[in-house]
């Protein structure tokens, strides 16, 4: 099955860490060639066994699209199909883990897309080409990546194709990103660059509930606001699958809401407040036993709100009941510490306070 079908349901960063990616009960560092074990892990976000260093190798723009390109050691990660996770191991020829963050050059908002691909060329010849997975890591948050092949030392060009944004856009993003972009980044690679990246193990913290801190990097990290910083009225919150869901009503309804109110839900990871894209989220709003709304919440992104899910409703009042159902878990590949969370996500029932 094609990756896109699965997803449908410069400055060095030096010591900045990137959480490695894990198997069900073991992780592998491509640099060290070692395995470490985390036993009795639950379906939650947990502290990884180690962190791999990464470095930014370049950036580029196309209109309002800006892209930062990074790489690290090649390492395993987890993809997800429905509610099933699958470990993607390092191929024999794969040498680096290539990562890209895409954001709006005007507002700094990290942009979601299910369609990002990379072609890496050396001397005008293609060395490797593949679709990049939307991914979630503890210190990069939401980004795109995959293990790729580099053919020795030299100068390379990465040609990144970014698909048009499929999520609704709010505010300053409203009239942008209807079209995709092509961004080329030239970079020099030496094997020693990868070999010299830092590597840190966490023998005492590994497997415990918790997460690495966001990295300090020359690219924005997608984080949604704290509940009390959301622009509007927070109506209630609940947790499911170790994710927090905050329901709120923005001060201003988007233009696509024809009268009434915009009911928004902001799912986020614990600890770092990263958004959870490509989720199938539905809700039922009721009052006094009468159903007022029962439908899908559509993905959307805005500079002040970040990535969220929303729906137009007639009105929201205190005492209303909101039942939220996750029909499809977040369709993002996961680095270590996230691969057991955000999968089994029971229904949530909220009593709203407007």
Q: Are 157 and 184 in contact (CB under 8 A)?
A: yes
The C-alpha atoms of residue 36 and residue 206 are separated, in whole angstroms, by: 10
| Cross-strand partners of 137 | 141
Cβ atoms of 345 and 30 within 8 Å: the answer is: no
> Using CA of residue 143, residue 147, residue 152, residue 157, what is the dihedral sign?
negative
Does the model's pTM come out above 0.75? yes
Radius of gyration of the chain (CA): 20
Q: Exposed/middle/buried for 329, CB within 10 Å: 0-12, 13-18, 19+?
A: buried
**Residues 55/193, Cβ–Cβ less than 8 Å:** yes
DSSP string computed for 89-112: PPPTT--EEEEEEEEETTT-PBPP
Residue 18: which of 223, 213, 293 has the closest Cα? 213
- Nearest of 247, 291, 296, 251 to residue 267 by alpha carbon: 247
Distance in angstroms between the alpha carbons of the first and the last residue of the chain: 45
Closest Cα partner for 275 from 225, 348, 310?
A: 225
> Which pLDDT tens digits describe the chain residue by residue (354 residues)?
344 343 333 333 333 444 433 333 333 333 433 434 487 788 999 999 989 899 999 999 999 999 999 999 998 899 999 999 998 989 999 999 999 999 999 999 999 988 999 999 999 999 999 999 999 999 999 999 999 999 999 999 999 999 999 999 999 999 999 999 999 999 999 999 998 999 899 999 999 999 999 999 999 999 999 999 999 999 999 999 999 999 999 998 999 998 899 999 999 999 999 999 999 999 999 999 999 999 999 999 999 999 999 999 999 999 999 999 999 999 999 999 999 999 999 999 999 999
The SS3 call for residue 346 is coil
**Cα-based distances in Å from 291 to 266, 310, 314:** 22, 17, 11
Residue 267 bridge partners (DSSP): 245
Segments in 159-255 forming alpha helices (H): 191-195
């Amino acid at each position: 099955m094609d990756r896109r079908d699965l997803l449908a349901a410069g400055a060095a960063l030096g010591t900045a860490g990137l959480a490695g990616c894990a198997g069900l009960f073991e992780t592998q560092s491509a640099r060290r060639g070692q395995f470490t074990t985390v036993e009795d892990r639950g379906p939650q976000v947990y502290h990884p066994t180690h962190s791999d260093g990464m470095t930014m190798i370049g950036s580029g723009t196309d209109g309002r699209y800006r892209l930062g390109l990074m790489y690290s050691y090649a390492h395993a990660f987890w993809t997800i199909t429905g509610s099933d996770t699958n470990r993607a191991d390092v191929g024999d020829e794969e040498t680096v883990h290539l990562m890209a963050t895409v954001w709006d050059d005007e507002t700094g908002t990290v942009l979601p897309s299910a369609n990002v691909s990379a072609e890496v060329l050396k001397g005008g010849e293609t060395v490797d080409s593949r679709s990049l997975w939307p991914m979630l890591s503890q210190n990069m948050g939401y980004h795109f990546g995959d293990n790729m092949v580099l053919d020795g030392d030299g100068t390379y060009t990465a040609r990144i194709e970014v698909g048009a944004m499929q999520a609704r856009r709010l505010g300053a993003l409203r009239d942008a990103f209807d079209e995709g972009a092509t961004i080329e980044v030239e970079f020099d690679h030496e094997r020693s660059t990868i070999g010299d990246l830092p590597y840190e193990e966490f023998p005492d913290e590994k497997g415990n509930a918790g997460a690495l801190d966001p990295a300090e990097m020359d690219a924005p990290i997608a984080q949604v606001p704290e509940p009390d910083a959301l622009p509007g009225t927070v109506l209630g919150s609940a947790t499911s699958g170790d994710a927090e869901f905050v329901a709120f009503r923005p001060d201003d309804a988007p233009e696509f809401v024809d009268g009434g109110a915009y009911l928004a839900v902001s799912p986020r990871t614990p600890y770092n407040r990263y958004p959870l894209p490509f989720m199938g989220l539905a809700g039922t709003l009721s009052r006094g036993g009468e159903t007022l709304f029962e439908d899908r919440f559509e993905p959307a992104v805005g500079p002040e709100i970040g990535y969220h899910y929303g729906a137009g409703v007639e009105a929201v009042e205190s005492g209303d009941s909101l039942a939220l159902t996750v029909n499809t878990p977040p369709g993002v590949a996961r680095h270590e510490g996230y691969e057991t969370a955000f999968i089994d996500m029971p229904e949530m029932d909220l009593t709203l306070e407007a």
